Structure 1
């Protein structure tokens, strides 16, 4: 059983999109639970849209808040091969409990100074979580990258200085991701952007290696 928390203390980094793609691709390999622990409930809305489509398989989706993410999530996750928790957008009780439940935290991050500041804040939260969950692994995913700029290279240098485990895959800002989520799908299922498909499959290969 593997529990992933896709978490960030900053919005707008593609956190929910990352969680939904990860959970759906894991569902192709085995029974998968998706916990929506974000008060905005975007993952739960996506799950509702997906029920109206022919796309499958789907992760089983449930909403949990705050301490429930650990107490109820621990009980529920025991019945699944994989669990993905979508949580955060800010430092919250739910985010902290998700980090206690997770085996691996996937941290999407953009390439701006605000993202760098948010990462510094999140690392403090992670260190507290590791006091109680010492086996928690942390992997950083650079997202919403604009390949026309050098911002990604600067962020990679910053993350290297922090000695973080940064995934080789970088996910660019692409319309296909927004379109897929809005249709209750993932980019492979709508099939309009080969680059988006290649990036998300490369990400999946890395985190499941």
Structure 2
């Protein structure tokens, strides 16, 4: 089986794109999957997290590799990594320039994190339009959902207007997502039986199923 190529993209700032990428990458290693992450975000936050991980854990955890590259090298890098990995995860830059477009074009599935507010949902439109222009399947993930939050009819209507498929799995607004990253780890490693780890595990399974269904 060829690797599933998953790009995390969001032009709207503050959606938790890179945080989601780090936790998702570790969750995807479950079941001995080999996961390669390509960091083309100029901020390089994911690469810094991985460096922390290497310093604390030595081998950075079985089955996980993070590479920081320039966007123009992305296609060749993905093709090489796909030969030796089960999943290639791309953390794209928060804008619609060439690098982001290449990342979306390379993907079997584009995962779009969005906070559950009408303004954030409406601001997601350019990202979804970019994916549509590149003929890439998309999956919107509700991220940083407050405790006991209820999606209003207004928000659900906004999502329907965007024509986006929304993941059944949702990620809560939990401090452990940030605190785990400081240690170079992920929620499944610091609180393996906690609610955050359960949410991320469920989301990783849903994303992988959707990516395999959409594989080119």
TM-score class, shorter-chain normalisation, is 0.7 to 0.9
188-197 vs 32-41, which deviates more? 188-197
Distance 1:178 1:58 in 2: 22
- Does the residue aligned with 1:68 lie in a helix, a strand or coil? helix
Using structure 2 for the length normalisation, give the TM-score.
0.85
| Alignment-derived partner of residue 52 in structure 1 | 55
1:149 Cα deviation (Å)? 4.4
Q: Comparing both structures, which one devotes a greater share of its residues to strand?
A: 1
Does residue 31 in structure 1 map to residue 34 in structure 2?
A: yes
| Alignment-derived partner of residue 196 in structure 2 | 196
Residues 110 and 131, structure 2, Cα contact 8 Å, conserved in 1: no
Residues 118 and 154, structure 2, Cα contact 8 Å, conserved in 1: no
- Does the residue aligned with 1:170 lie in a helix, a strand or coil? coil
Match among 96, 100, 103 for residue 101 of structure 2: 96
Structure 1 residues 16, 200: CA separation in 2 closer, same or farther (over 3 Å shift)?
same
1:191 Cα deviation (Å)? 1.1
Distance 1:22 1:195 in 2: 15
> Could you say what the CA RMSD is over the residues aligned between the two structures, in angstroms?
2.0
Count of residues in correspondence between the two structures: 204
Deviation per residue, 1:153-196 (Å, 9 max, x gap): 64333212333211111111110000011111110111188221
Structure 1 residues 74, 3: CA separation in 2 closer, same or farther (over 3 Å shift)?
same
Residues 6 and 106, structure 1, Cα contact 8 Å, conserved in 2: yes
Structure 1 residues 154, 200: CA separation in 2 closer, same or farther (over 3 Å shift)?
farther
Does residue 157 in structure 1 map to residue 157 in structure 2?
A: yes
Deviation per residue, 1:28-66 (Å, 9 max, x gap): 332221100100001100100001223622511111222
| Alignment-derived partner of residue 214 in structure 2 | none
